[in-house]
Each structure stands twice: as structure tokens, then as C-alpha cells.
A and B are shown apart, each in its own frame.
Chain A
Amino acid sequence: MTALTVVKAGPLTLIQDRGRPGLSHLGVGTAGAMDRGALALANRLVGNERGAAGLEILFGGAIFASDRPVWVAVTGAWGSVTAPGRTVPPNTAELLNVGDSLTFGPAVRGIRYYLAVRGGVDVPIVLGSRSRDTLAGLGPAPLRDGDLVPIGADQVDPVPPVDLVPLDAPFANTAVIEIRPGPRRDWFTQDAWMALLDSAWQVSQRADRSGIRVEGPTLHRSMAGELPSEGMVPGAIQVSPDGAPTILSVDHPVTGGYPVIAVVTDASLDTLAQLRPGQRIRFRLAIGR
């Protein structure tokens, strides 16, 4: 069996694919790679099928080794990623030789690296997906030092002859997130709506795969009272009773009882995956229907 050895797992390394959509009515959220585009690109770079599972590596500090020569690709966050004697550039396929270790230094732009291995990560499928849902505790456990990550046969194409995909690094300074009005926009004052759009917000330390709490002005309600729990989507900006917004992410609870003032557009969801605590963000109203 071909496998990657987890020499060091780092703070949080998870197996993720495209998640398990369609089960929210049973209480199970989608999960999957937070930066969907980054995992899709990594899979494409090593000739994997689109649904292949890869690794989502939070912040860095992880080291992997292979028992066989294997093609890999690193996407998402930018930082120092090295193999013995060389730098592994982002967004390109790289052949890892037997015994070569692949070392992820701290991310300097963005915060989540994605690692695709040609053939995909092959762990048991749970409810149609190999993804870890950190909230529901479903799917493969977070990787630990010494684990073996089995490599499967999910390659469908040759490794494409692309030297490098020219992509911008994740936002270094102020990230811009597009939003649309949420179902409970009318529970908030007009001032709260303007404050959401006009303020410089800051990503708090409380940011994970369930939600990202952001700090800034208090968003005041125009309506008191409690909301019966209702279905939530990734990107829903939920405002707790203290007036602080949290942007729900891929492992969010399927229902929630805090009013949603706005919802991040699908195109901006991947940006959420790369937000760093302390980073500034601005919300911009998406135009058109």
C-alpha cells in the first residue's frame, strides 16, 4: 500500500474532499474543504478526479514523507514549503521521491494549505464523503504524528504539463468579502446595515471551520425577541444578542437561532478559508440578482 507518513501533523491537519451536501435535513452539514477552489486546483494539478480527498493543513508546522515516488501539489496559503534541497512552489505539481520529506513552514499569506497527492487520500467514505466535520465529529479524525495516510487510485488524467498556475496569493491586508442581504436584514436598524458595509472589521481569534467571529461596531437590532431556529448556509452572517457578527463556515450547525443580517456570496466563500486572526476585512454589497 502506498501511503504518506505523517511525521508531524501540525496544529490541525484534516482530510477533506467536496463534503457531503444534501443531508442538512438529517442534521448533517456539508463540511468539505473550506477553500474549495484551492483543493480543486491541487487535484487538477496532479491529475486527480475532482472529488478526490486531500489534506487541509491549518497554518503549517506539518511534515510528510512518502514510501514511494509520488506527485503532489500544494495550493491555498502561501508560505515556505520545502523538500530536501529545494523549495516547493505553490500551485504546481512536484514529484516527491522516496524518503523525501515535505515540510510546511508557517503560512505568511492565508492560513490553510491544501495538499493533493496523485491518487487521492483513500480513507473509508462516511455518508458519501471522506471529509472531517469538526462540529458533528463525522469522518476521519484529525491527523496525528505517526499516522499513515493511504493513497488511493482517484487519478483520471496524466499529471498535466503545466509549470505553474499564475494565481494571486491570498489577501495580505484588507480582504474584501461580497455579501447579499440575509433573511433577517429587517431585524436590524438601518445604521447597523450601514455599519456592516462601511466599517473595517477585524477577524477575531475565534475563527475556525464552524464560524469566524469578526470584531467591529455593535450591530443594533430594530426588533427584539427570539427567533425560532432556522436553516443556515455557509457564509450566513449571524448576529448574537451582544451585537457581534459571526460568519458561519463549512462546519456550521445546520440550524441556528440568531438572526442572519447578510449572506456571503458563493464566490467569496473561499476567501473566508484564508482569513487570519487579526486580519482586516470589508464587506461589499454584491450587485445584480
Chain B
Amino acid sequence: MNILPCGDRALLAEFGSLDETMSAFRALDTARPDGVLELVPAARTVLARIDPGRLSLRAAEQWMLGTSATDADIGEERSVTIPVRYDGPDLAATAELLGITAHELISRHSGAPWRCGFIGFAPGFAYLAGGGMDVARHATSRQTVPAGSVGLAGEFTGIYPRSSPGGWQLVGTTDVVLWDETRDNPATITPGMRVRFEVADQ
């Protein structure tokens, strides 16, 4: 792990892989000292925003170095199952890109132990890794992707929380509400959470 400077109120920890980043985030999140305002995981980094009045940057650096190296007890893991209708407009083309049948793509996608690495792009848009698939996104984004669309891009799968432009390969649709700002927990999927997809009744 590398700790990089990020102004006078943040540090950026950099890791060698997504897996390493995800376990470091879970360890850091479990052992947050007072004065850590935010932990923002991404593909290879965890950003820590610090209140230097309560925790010096030097102390925060020591905490990050010490914590993410250990396998902290992360307690009971949160998980969610998302029913999906595999009816996306890119299902056949994506299977072809992967050199498999649509049926096999559905069984891999719904059988894989996905885990949320981080959220980006839009509120509640979770990047889920662990499917063992890697597909290119569309060269040109669609103007409108409907809310609930389940897509693949790179090593990730994700669900559009609301209608927006987007370039992911769309393989299915879910009725699960991914984001609701009126709830106490607005995001259905949060970083570190385990996610499984199941084939929904049509």
C-alpha cells in the first residue's frame, strides 16, 4: 500500500489490485477512529477525508498503514439478492463477445459471488466485481438507459439506479429500487456488500 498526499484534509491510499482495495476498505471501515469523516473506495484506492482538529494527518496515516495490512474482524457481512429478468437488448451480443451462449451468460451472471467494490458515476450506482467476465463497454453511449437496467462493463456488473445516459452492455432488468433519497439508507447496495442475482419469473 502507498499513502499519497491529498491536500490538508485527506489522504489517498493506493493498492495493487481491486481485491486488495476491497479488503482494505472493509478493514478501514470497521476500525474508523474519531476524526475520519469519509472513506471513499474506488478501483485501486481508498480516500480518507480527515478532520485535522480531531485526528492529525500523521496519525491518520499510521492508522491506515496499520489497519489495512491486518485482516480485521469484519463481523457479519451484509448481502442482498437482486431478481433479474435477463431480457436486456445486449444479452445476445454480450454472450457472443464472451464466446458463450446467452444461456451460459445468464447462469454465470446469476451464479457468481459478486461484491460491491465502490459506488461511482451516480448516487447508488454500485460497481460489482467477482463475476470473472470482462467485456468492453459500448464505444458510443446510449442517450437513455432506463432505471433498473443491469449492465456489464470491464470486470464489473452494475444496475442503473435511475434513467441516465450510459455505455454498459445491458443484459437484464430488475424492479429492485437501488436508490431512494427519502430512505434512511438511500442506497440498496453499499461498498463491501455481497450481491447475488437470481433469475426472476418473467
Residues of A within 8 A of B (CB): 21-28, 126-127, 136, 138, 180-185, 228-233, 235-236, 253-255, 260, 263-266, 286, 289
Contacts and interface: CB of A to CB of B under 8 A. Distances in A.
A182 B42 contact: no
Interface stretch (B4-12, B83-91, B99-107, B133-141): B4-12
Interface of B: 4-10, 12, 14, 37-47, 49, 57-58, 118-125, 181-182, 186-187, 190-191
Nearest to B3: A183
Q: Select the residue from A180, A184, A233 with max chain B CB neighbours within 10 A.
A: A233
B122 A27 contact: yes
B6 A233 contact: yes
B45 A230 contact: yes
Contacts of B57: 289
Contacts of A265: 7-8
A27 B125 contact: yes
A150 to B, nearest CB: 19
Contacts of B10: 233, 263
B38 A21 contact: yes
Contacts of A236: 6-7
B148 to A, nearest CB: 17
Contacts of B40: 24-25, 231, 254-255
Nearest to A186: B4
A27 B120 contact: yes
B43 A229 contact: yes
Q: Select the residue from B6, B44, B121, B190 with max chain A CB neighbours within 10 A.
A: B6
Classify the interface of chain A: helix, strand, loop or mixed: loop
Contacts of B181: 126-127, 138
B5 A231 contact: no
Contacts of A233: 6-7, 9-10, 47, 49
B32 to A, nearest CB: 11
Contact of A182 (B5, B37, B45): B5
10 contacts: A138-B181, A183-B6, A183-B14, A230-B42, A231-B45, A231-B46, A235-B7, A263-B8, A266-B8, A286-B8
B42 A22 contact: no
Given A228-B43, A263-B7, A265-B8, A255 B123 contact: no
B61 to A, nearest CB: 11
B12 A231 contact: yes
Contacts of A266: 7-9
Contacts of A181: 5
Given A228-B43, A228-B44, A230-B45, A27 B7 contact: no
A26 B8 contact: no
A230 B5 contact: no
B187 A26 contact: yes
Contacts of A138: 123, 181
Contacts of A127: 181, 186
Contacts of A26: 119, 123-124, 186-187, 190
B144 to A, nearest CB: 15
Given A25-B40, A263-B5, A289-B58, 9 more contacts: A24-B49, A26-B186, A26-B187, A27-B119, A180-B8, A182-B6, A230-B42, A231-B41, A235-B7
